[in-house]
């Protein structure tokens, strides 16, 4: 997030696109409701009638995968009506005129054809967002999990800089991170192309800094992303994997492909708190401590580093991940001897200036938001107050390309996937909670009443959902949440895994899979 | 700024706030039951009444705004008599079962009964009796303990935007219920439980596990989504028995169903407790030394035979910053590859 969660309540317009905030980030939704009660206007763009729609002035029910057309269409109207922020464009951006030309093809009429959103609503959205200078955009995986995920984000950025809705309090671009420490894992560089703090691994001066600190030579070539690792494993280029606290069998697209990849490995280690579907395929399984059982820090979606404190001891012989990794490293001949997690942060903050001022001592209380370069620095509530790191920010022309797989005669429905309120991600934690299982323990596919009627499927019927990659048996839930032609399956349930169906086509830039759109066929089970 | 006088003390107040809020900011005690600082005022319980010079009757301080020159008295014999009467009336229709109540020790009504020395029922008569009717696995409702303060109704509407419950019926028959008493359509965030001043709403899983105050409390961060809600974990011996969140946290004390009620995966009997090595397709328990030796030997062999880039590592967003830092350092420095990633894309 460029803003803080607190700032949401001071925004005048909230544009929520591809985020089921009320179910995936319920407490952030509470802030949005606070803004709503203060009089903020809310726009929700989503293929599904997600619960936040209840609070929306405007619901743009778009076809899955048509975000770029919608965003460009809104930008086009903003420019046509002169709602852009001329001062901001002149002072802080480059490439406006060239970009503007690319918008011409996104007339409200054509965008209506592509997205299914009535052109009047596109114009209303443009006037609402473009007419405000205290507007925030919120998105999650509904934007990013597409083969055009990077371009979707660029289209959002264009909209924000067009209106100057970034770099001030109460206005910005806010991807809501879906997992407790996914921000921190990225910051700490569990990523193949950067070293801690997003410092590029292909730059010799960056590598030298880390090599001096670590006393080793760091390979200069970026590695493989998670999704590429699975392809490489199938092709035999990856022989061994060490998986710490992940469950890719459930969370990766195209489950059969993932299973084939992991089964084909010469050696697989899984370190986890439960015998997950992934752990079952391992050669060695190590019992880990969960976050209630260890000390450390998490970084939340607003870049706030907060203390995690040990409340209970791990069960049996389970150990915290830190001590396990240090021990294996030592046995492989590379010594990492941190006496406590605090010592790790001490090293980490020396190597990443934005974290430089963050110490355990300062984290008592409410935590600190990075960038926080010095021990005196209070942390940063919102980004780009003093301009953009590169000086001027570019408008990036973004063209609309349809999803990799579209509905056709053979597979006439579009499947989109996501979370529900009660379960979490691969379910390895929540599915062990009896109360949650009692209430939301059964997988389901959301089908519109129209499609239910046409197919002769009633609420509660077990049906077969089939894609080019796999099929599942699952209960139908007839609901107006989805519109005709679209179905939704939550990702959490191993016994009817959404990812047995999903497409593993990737975004060419960041290799994120297209979880949000694939083609399926529905069949009554009898 | 307006100038007011509370109990003889002159106070400058910025703008239009209530008498109650002015008093709280200046550390002047006024008892309340229905008031909650994060919810709109209700003026229902009448405990917060104060006298204002020139006004013929006491007024509710939670719904009355300060005005220039107001002279306010928060406690007189007459006011205290009324407060005690109100409490006696509430308690006359309240189960006298603090000895088994989950809320004992952190119950506002119990604290007030204690403060006003109320033990006997001054108003014997008809009592509200309810049979429990709720099939949900998260929230325990005991309507006989409900004092109709309306905090749960406001939290559900104002904070959560769900409006699952409201006041139903009138007078003695008043109760908090769903529309037409149909099935509950609820997100089970438990905000209502958090704001309930009595034992009317509690967590089902908390039952007889230990009351607030009698347990060890540890402040940490929720293990689920990226919002990073601050939670207080209540621990009995080595088991988590409750999760709460303080009002002054970054998340203002609000949680969701997973954060508030989804904690007991940690004590699940299905947790992994020993290293396991697969032999002939079957997992066999092993000691840590044996397992780690096996891992280092196999990783060493594969590295020697196929090179470092034949090995890949996945870290986790469920792990701490420190563990993630050390994991990528391990992959890069000890294994010698940049094949390291986590689930940010998934």
Q: Given A369, A397, A421, which residue is the final one in a domain?
A: A369
In a domain, A225, yes or no: yes
In a domain, B343, yes or no: yes
Nearest to B222 by CA among B177, B190, B181, B196: B190
Percent of chain A clearing pLDDT 70 (strictly above): 100
In a domain, B31, yes or no: yes
- B339 vs A229, A436, A439: nearest CB: A229
Q: Given B14, B45, B75, which residue is the final one in a domain?
A: B75
Q: Check: CB of residue A74 under 8 Å from CB of residue A66.
A: no
- Chain A contact for B184 (CB, 8 A cutoff): no
Same domain assignment for residues A425 and A354 = no
Q: Given B75, B107, B126, which residue is the final one in a domain?
A: B75
Residue B132 has pLDDT above 80, yes or no: no
Which chain A residue shows the shortest CA-CA distance from B239?
A312
In a domain, B51, yes or no: yes
Q: Given A176, A201, A229, which residue is the final one in a domain?
A: A176
Question: DSSP secondary structure string, B155-168?
Answer: IIIIIT-----EEE
Same domain assignment for residues A318 and A431 = no
In a domain, A393, yes or no: no
In a domain, A37, yes or no: yes
- Chain A contact for B329 (CB, 8 A cutoff): yes
Same domain assignment for residues A82 and A112 = yes
- Chain A contact for B284 (CB, 8 A cutoff): no
Same domain assignment for residues A459 and A326 = no
Residue B39 has pLDDT above 80, yes or no: yes
Percent of chain B clearing pLDDT 70 (strictly above): 100
In a domain, A398, yes or no: no
In a domain, B345, yes or no: yes
Residue B134 has pLDDT above 80, yes or no: no
Which tens digit of pLDDT belongs to each residue from A88-147?
999 999 999 999 999 999 999 999 999 999 999 999 999 999 999 999 999 999 999 999
Residues 6+ apart with CB under 8 A from B34: B42, B43, B44, B45, B62, B149, B150, B151, B197
Provide mean pLDDT across the span A323-332: 97
B9 CA: distance to closest CA in chain A (Å): 33
Contacts of A317 in chain B (CB under 8 A): 273-275, 288
Specify the pLDDT at position A183.
96
Residue B51 phi/psi, 5-degree rounding, is: -100, 135
Q: Note down the domain range covering A158.
A: 6-176
Tokens 């609000």 correspond to B254
Nearest to A386 by CA among A166, A133, A170: A166
In a domain, B344, yes or no: yes
CA distance A498 to A489: 6
Same domain assignment for residues A423 and A343 = no
In a domain, B234, yes or no: no
Long-range contacts of A55-62 (CB under 8 A, 24+ apart): A55/B161, A56/A16, A57/A128, A58/A121, A58/A124, A58/A125, A58/A128, A60/A115, A60/A117, A60/A121, A60/A122, A60/A125, A61/A116, A61/A117, A61/A483, A62/A115, A62/A116, A62/A117
Task: Decide if A196 and B325 are in contact by the 8 Å CB cutoff.
Answer: yes
Q: Check: CB of residue A44 under 8 Å from CB of residue A73.
A: no
Of the pLDDT bands very low, low, confident and very high (cuts 50, 70, 90), residue B345 is confident
Same domain assignment for residues A188 and A157 = no
A92 CA: distance to closest CA in chain B (Å): 30
Contacts of A347 in chain B (CB under 8 A): 325
Which tens digit of pLDDT belongs to each residue from A193-236?
999 999 999 999 999 999 999 999 999 999 999 999 999 999 99
Provide mean pLDDT across the span B20-34: 96
The total domain count for chain A is 3
Same domain assignment for residues A165 and A221 = no
Same domain assignment for residues A170 and A186 = no
Count the Cβ atoms, other than its own, within 10 Å of residue A459. Answer: 13
Specify the pLDDT at position B135.
82
- Chain A contact for B17 (CB, 8 A cutoff): no
- B330 vs A191, A195, A325: nearest CB: A325
In a domain, B346, yes or no: yes
Task: Decide if B225 and A242 are in contact by the 8 Å CB cutoff.
Answer: no
CATH number of the domain to which A83 belongs: 3.40.228.10
Which of these ranges, A149-153, A447-451, A522-526, B3-7, has the smallest mean pLDDT? A522-526
B22 CA: distance to closest CA in chain A (Å): 22
On average, the pLDDT of chain B sits at 95
Residue A526 has pLDDT above 80, yes or no: no
Q: Check: CB of residue A252 under 8 Å from CB of residue A219.
A: no
Provide mean pLDDT across the span A49-76: 98
Nearest to B194 by CA among B246, B233, B229: B246
Task: Decide if A334 and B229 are in contact by the 8 Å CB cutoff.
Answer: no
Which tens digit of pLDDT belongs to each residue from A446-488?
999 999 999 999 999 999 999 999 999 999 999 999 999 999 9
Q: Given A176, A201, A217, which residue is the final one in a domain?
A: A176
Specify the pLDDT at position B183.
87
Same domain assignment for residues A358 and A458 = no
Count the Cβ atoms, other than its own, within 10 Å of residue A202. Answer: 12
| DSSP designation for A7 | G
Same domain assignment for residues A124 and A272 = no
Tokens 């999704």 correspond to A227
Percent of chain A clearing pLDDT 90 (strictly above): 99
CA of B254: how far to CAs of A6, B158, B222, B246, in Å? 13, 12, 12, 8
The total domain count for chain B is 2
Contacts of A433 in chain B (CB under 8 A): 261-265
B304 CA: distance to closest CA in chain A (Å): 12
Q: Given B75, B109, B138, which residue is the final one in a domain?
A: B75
- Chain A contact for B254 (CB, 8 A cutoff): yes
Nearest to A467 by CA among A443, A494, A441, A489: A489
Q: Note down the domain range covering B319.
A: 308-346
In a domain, A485, yes or no: yes
- From chain B residues 288-327, the ones with a CB under 8 A of any chain A CB are 288, 291-296, 298-300, 302, 306, 308-327
ipTM: 0.96
Of the pLDDT bands very low, low, confident and very high (cuts 50, 70, 90), residue B343 is confident
Same domain assignment for residues A169 and A209 = no
Task: Decide if A306 and B230 are in contact by the 8 Å CB cutoff.
Answer: yes
CA distance B331 to B322: 14
In a domain, B53, yes or no: yes
Specify the pLDDT at position A496.
97
Q: B187: which 2 tokens?
A: 């997100």
Q: How many CB pairs under 8 A join A and B?
A: 451
CA of A110: how far to CAs of A46, A115, A154, A328, A525, in Å? 18, 9, 20, 58, 39
Which chain B residue shows the shortest CA-CA distance from A197?
B325
**Top-confidence residue, B177 or B345:** B177
Specify the pLDDT at position A366.
87
Same domain assignment for residues A211 and A295 = yes
Q: Which helix (H) or strand (E) holds B298?
A: helix B288-306
- A219 vs B205, B238, B337: nearest CB: B337
């Amino acid at each position: 997030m460029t803003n803080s969660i607190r700032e949401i309540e001071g925004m005048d317009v909230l544009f929520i696109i591809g985020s089921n905030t009320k179910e995936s980030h319920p407490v952030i939704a509470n802030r949005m409701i606070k803004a709503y009660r203060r009089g903020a206007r809310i726009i929700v763009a989503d293929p599904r009638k997600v619960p936040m729609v209840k609070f929306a002035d405007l619901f743009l029910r778009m076809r899955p995968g048509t975000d770029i057309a919608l965003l460009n269409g809104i930008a086009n109207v903003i420019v046509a009506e002169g709602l852009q922020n001329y001062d901001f464009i002149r002072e802080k951006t480059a490439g406006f005129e060239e970009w503007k030309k690319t918008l011409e093809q996104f007339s409200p009429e054509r965008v209506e054809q592509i997205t299914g959103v009535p052109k009047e609503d596109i114009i209303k959205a443009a006037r609402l967002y473009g007419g405000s200078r205290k507007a925030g955009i919120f998105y999650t995986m509904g934007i990013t999990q597409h083969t055009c995920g990077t371009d979707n984000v660029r289209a959002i950025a264009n909209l924000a800089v067009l209106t100057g809705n970034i770099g001030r309090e109460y206005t910005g671009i806010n991807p809501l991170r879906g997992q407790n420490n996914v921000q921190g894992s990225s910051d700490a560089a569990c990523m193949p192309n950067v070293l801690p703090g997003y410092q590029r691994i292909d730059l010799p001066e960056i590598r030298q800094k880390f090599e001096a600190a670590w006393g080793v030579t760091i390979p200069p070539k970026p590695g493989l992303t998670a999704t590429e690792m699975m392809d490489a494993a199938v092709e035999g280029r990856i022989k061994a994997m060490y998986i710490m606290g992940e469950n890719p069998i459930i969370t990766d697209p195209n489950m059969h492909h993932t299973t084939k990849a992991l089964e084909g490995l010469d050696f697989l280690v899984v370190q986890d708190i439960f015998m997950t579907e992934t752990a079952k395929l391992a050669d060695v399984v190590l019992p880990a401590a969960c976050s209630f059982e260890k000390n450390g820090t998490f970084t939340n979606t607003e870049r706030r580093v907060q203390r995690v404190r040990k409340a209970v001891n791990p069960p049996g012989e389970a150990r915290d991940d830190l001590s396990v990794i240090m021990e294996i490293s030592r046995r492989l001949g590379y010594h990492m001897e941190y006496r406590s997690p605090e010592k790790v942060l001490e090293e980490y903050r020396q190597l990443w200036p934005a974290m430089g001022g963050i110490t355990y001592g300062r984290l008592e209380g409410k935590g600190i938001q990075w960038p926080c370069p010095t021990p005196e620095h209070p942390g940063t509530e919102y980004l780009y107050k003093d301009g953009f790191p590169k000086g001027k920010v570019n408008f990036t022309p973004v063209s609309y390309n349809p999803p990799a797989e579209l509905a056709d005669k053979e597979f006439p429905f579009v499947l989109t996937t996501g979370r529900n309120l009660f379960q979490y991600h691969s379910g390895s934690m929540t599915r062990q909670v009896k109360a949650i299982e009692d209430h939301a323990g059964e997988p389901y596919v959301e089908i519109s009443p129209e499609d239910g009627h046409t197919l002769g499927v009633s609420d509660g019927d077990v049906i077969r959902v089939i894609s080019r990659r796999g099929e599942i048996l699952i209960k139908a839930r007839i609901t107006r949440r989805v519109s005709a032609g679209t179905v939704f399956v939550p990702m959490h349930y191993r016994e009817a895994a959404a990812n047995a169906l999903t497409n593993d086509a990737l975004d060419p830039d960041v290799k994120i899979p297209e979880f949000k759109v694939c083609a399926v066929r529905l069949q009554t089970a009898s | 700024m307006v100038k007011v006088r509370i109990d003889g003390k002159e106070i400058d107040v910025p703008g239009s706030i209530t008498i109650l809020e002015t008093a709280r900011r200046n550390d002047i005690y006024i008892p309340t039951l229905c008031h909650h600082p994060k919810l709109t005022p209700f003026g229902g319980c009448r405990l917060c009444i104060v006298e204002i010079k020139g006004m013929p009757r006491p007024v509710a301080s939670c719904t009355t705004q300060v005005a220039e020159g107001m002279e306010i008295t928060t406690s007189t014999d007459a006011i205290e008599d009324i407060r005690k009467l109100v409490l006696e009336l509430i308690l006359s229709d309240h189960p006298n079962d603090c000895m088994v109540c989950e809320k004992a020790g952190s119950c506002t009504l119990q604290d007030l009964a204690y403060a006003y020395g109320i033990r006997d029922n001054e108003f014997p008569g008809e009592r509200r009796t309810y049979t429990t009717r709720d099939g949900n696995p998260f929230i325990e409702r005991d309507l006989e303990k409900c004092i109709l303060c309306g905090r749960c109704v406001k939290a559900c509407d104002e904070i959560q935007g769900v409006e699952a419950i409201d006041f139903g019926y009138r007078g003695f028959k008043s109760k908090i219920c769903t529309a037409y008493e149909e099935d509950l359509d609820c997100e089970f965030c438990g905000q209502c439980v958090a704001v309930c001043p009595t034992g009317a709403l509690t967590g089902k899983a908390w039952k007889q596990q230990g009351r607030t105050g009698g347990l060890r409390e540890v402040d940490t961060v929720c293990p689920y989504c990226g919002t990073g809600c601050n939670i207080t974990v209540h621990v009995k011996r080595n088991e988590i028995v409750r999760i709460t969140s303080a009002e002054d946290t970054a998340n203002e004390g609000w949680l969701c169903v997973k954060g508030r009620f989804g904690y007991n995966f940690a004590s699940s009997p299905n947790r992994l407790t020993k290293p396991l090595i697969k032999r002939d397709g079957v997992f066999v328990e092993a000691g840590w030394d044996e397992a780690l030796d096996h891992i280092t030997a196999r990783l060493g062999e594969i590295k020697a035979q196929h090179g470092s880039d034949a090995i890949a590592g996945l870290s986790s967003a469920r792990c701490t910053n420190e563990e993630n830092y050390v994991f990528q350092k391990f992959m890069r420095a000890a294994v010698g590859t940049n094949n390291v990633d986590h689930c940010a894309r998934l």
